[in-house]
Chain A
């Protein structure tokens, strides 16, 4: 009974870590530019799929990881430069449709380049399961949890302690004021898209050895990441992380105890309930809308 619960928790926290990273990416872009980037899940896919490709070329794993992160960051920067920047001042509906268009475009491109096959990355270290009572855990699970925690810490440090991080936060607060004190606002926006892409790629690389990847793997991950951000409260980056882990755990428990077929439906039920009863999320503050 307890072992089973432990097993569900391990699975939940692992998957939830991916949601957390994707959700953090959502929150960073939303904070900096008021855009909800529906292509965030595609960063996860591009990260994992390009890694598969680099491996196929014969590069060693550490190099592959670095290259695929860089590739994804380039995609993220391109998304900002080619699409978002041109649509400055557009309405919410417009930006939603643009980023959905970008997501579909990236998916189509991945389909052309890599086809419809399902790929897996090799585990980062040994594949021997570790036993904890009757529950088991792969070393890759530990990789996912530890690297996620580390990345989240670094992002937090970046925004709290570095000048550039503070400058981005300044843009998030008030773009005109940031511009007036000499912050290069477009550069800060560009940087936040780069960071979000990096987070997506890391999530993709971590989870691909366990959960596999394919050209259309980004949709669900993106939507779950967005759900994580809403659950935590849009605009609160650490809320997005907590929301992600929580969503992963609830989903895993639901799949284990209620019905595995309705696993994805459960995540969206949770989100609908949160939206209906507490739209500001668990950790977000209520804000008045400007008229």
Chain B
């Protein structure tokens, strides 16, 4: 139970915010985007933080979820939930097919391959105008409804996204402590050492890649229905980098680090709205300085510093007593 204390505190916070401030713009409007970004950052962290791999193309899976849902519901009148299932199935197939050749690569090569994959998917979104509406995107994606309960307000979306988000955080927290999580950590440390210890590294990496892609795809479908609009800009190379920034800012390998990174990176442009032109510059500066000065991430760094301070103080108290 102690292991999940952090989760319960976080869940309580997520639930109490809209109850205390139901009309706050930052809670109900920005909160929905934050929730989506948390799902994305937590899933990317599974792949980058836990398995020690790198993906510069995760926006592609987000976009595949969003576009599959949008195309099936608007062009073919498919039930939104069925469309989500189809999207998940499609991404599962794609992720499984590319996992083997892509995950054989390491470092720069893996970065380049995921990046190339992301760009190709984005170009398809722009080019296949008859399905995707091209660069203008497509509007009129119908809202979701749950047993006749139409999800049509910011507050209702907050609830739905919060549930999915808490679920993905829980999944992520539990994976670390599981057998699979230990295998991931071993792969992260040294693949060859993990292999000699009997870990099936290929299978482990593939599984976490597919899981990460599926969570990301699900968030994409939700995004399409929530925005009622999709366009290629939301899924381009820069968004992939933004996701990496979230994970890195919080601290690679920490679930709550990813949560923290997603919150900060989503709130930053909202708060800096007066400095619109500086946004890109600030993103770049954050990425660089975190990696140079605090490679373990802001959240993890602060948490460690606090822990050390507490330990020092109690040690001193122990000496005096």
12 contacts between A and B (CB under 8 A): A86-B293, A93-B252, A97-B248, A98-B288, A101-B285, A102-B284, A103-B284, A104-B283, A106-B284, A108-B279, A262-B127, A268-B119
CB of A104 within 8 A of CB of B48, answer: no
Taking residues whose C-beta sits less than 8 angstroms from the other chain, chain A's interface range is 35 or more
Measured in the bound complex, the distance between the Cα atoms of B116 and A94 in whole Å is: 19
Measured in the bound complex, the distance between the Cα atoms of B111 and A226 in whole Å is: 11
Q: A132 within 8 Å of B by Cβ? A: no
Q: How far is the CB of B211 from chain A (nearest CB, A)?
A: 20
A36 with B108, Cβ < 8 A, contacts A105-B285, A108-B281 known: yes
A97 with B119, Cβ < 8 A, contacts A219-B237, A227-B112 known: no
Q: B12 within 8 Å of A by Cβ? A: no
CB of B281 within 8 A of CB of A105, answer: yes
Q: How far is the CB of A96 from chain B (nearest CB, A)?
A: 5
A108 with B282, Cβ < 8 A, contacts A83-B288, A97-B248 known: yes
A96 with B111, Cβ < 8 A, contacts A111-B277, A276-B101 known: yes
Kindly report which residue of chain A lies nearest to residue B53, judged by CB atoms.
A93
Measured in the bound complex, the distance between the Cα atoms of B295 and A93 in whole Å is: 11
CB of A94 within 8 A of CB of B288, answer: no
Most buried by A among B52, B102, B115, B286: B115
Kindly report which residue of chain A lies nearest to residue B280, judged by CB atoms.
A108
Kindly report which residue of chain B lies nearest to residue A107, judged by CB atoms.
B280
CB-CB contacts below 8 Å: B180-208 with A: 190, 192
Q: A291 within 8 Å of B by Cβ? A: yes
Measured in the bound complex, the distance between the Cα atoms of B113 and A269 in whole Å is: 9
A94 with B291, Cβ < 8 A, contacts A264-B119, A264-B123 known: yes
List the B side residues contacting A100 at CB < 8 Å: 56, 241, 244, 287
Most buried by A among B109, B120, B277, B291: B291
Measured in the bound complex, the distance between the Cα atoms of B107 and A128 in whole Å is: 47
Q: A154 within 8 Å of B by Cβ? A: no
Q: How far is the CB of A222 from chain B (nearest CB, A)?
A: 11
**What is the interface of chain A, defined by CB distance below 8 A to chain B?**
36, 83, 86-87, 90, 92-94, 96-98, 100-109, 111-112, 219, 223, 226-227, 230, 234, 259, 261-262, 264-265, 268-269, 271-272, 275-276, 279, 291
Q: How far is the CB of A110 from chain B (nearest CB, A)?
A: 9
Q: B17 within 8 Å of A by Cβ? A: no
Q: B124 within 8 Å of A by Cβ? A: yes
Interface size on B, residues (CB 8 A): 48
Q: B273 within 8 Å of A by Cβ? A: no
List the A side residues contacting B146 at CB < 8 Å: none
Q: B27 within 8 Å of A by Cβ? A: no
Report whether over half of chain A's contact residues are helix, strand or loop; otherwise say mixed: helix
10 nearest A-B pairs in the assembled complex, by CB-CB distance: A105-B284, A108-B281, A101-B287, A104-B284, A108-B280, A101-B288, A268-B116, A92-B107, A276-B101, A265-B123
CB of A98 within 8 A of CB of B123, answer: no
CB-CB contacts below 8 Å: B235-268 with A: 237, 241, 244, 248, 252
CB of B287 within 8 A of CB of A262, answer: no
Q: B298 within 8 Å of A by Cβ? A: no
A111 with B108, Cβ < 8 A, contacts A97-B248, A98-B288, A100-B287 known: no
Q: How far is the CB of A275 from chain B (nearest CB, A)?
A: 5
CB of A90 within 8 A of CB of B287, answer: no
A265 with B119, Cβ < 8 A, contacts A112-B281, A272-B113 known: yes
List the A side residues contacting B280 at CB < 8 Å: 104, 107-108, 111
CB of A275 within 8 A of CB of B105, answer: yes
CB of A108 within 8 A of CB of B112, answer: no
CB-CB contacts below 8 Å: B287-321 with A: 287-289, 291-293, 295
Partner of A234, one of B48, B52, B108, B111: B108
Measured in the bound complex, the distance between the Cα atoms of B192 and A97 in whole Å is: 25
CB of B288 within 8 A of CB of A105, answer: yes
Q: How far is the CB of A111 from chain B (nearest CB, A)?
A: 6
Q: B54 within 8 Å of A by Cβ? A: yes
Measured in the bound complex, the distance between the Cα atoms of B287 and A98 in whole Å is: 6
Q: B167 within 8 Å of A by Cβ? A: no
Kindly report which residue of chain A lies nearest to residue B237, judged by CB atoms.
A219
Measured in the bound complex, the distance between the Cα atoms of B193 and A291 in whole Å is: 9
Given A98-B291, A104-B280, A104-B283, 10 other A-B residues pairs in contact with their CB atoms under 8 A: A87-B292, A93-B54, A96-B107, A108-B279, A112-B277, A261-B127, A264-B119, A275-B116, A276-B113, A279-B104
List the A side residues contacting B102 at CB < 8 Å: 276
List the A side residues contacting B123 at CB < 8 Å: 261-262, 264-265
Kindly report which residue of chain B lies nearest to residue A85, judged by CB atoms.
B292
Partner of B291, one of A101, A112, A223, A226: A101
Q: B117 within 8 Å of A by Cβ? A: yes
CB-CB contacts below 8 Å: B78-107 with A: 101-102, 104-107
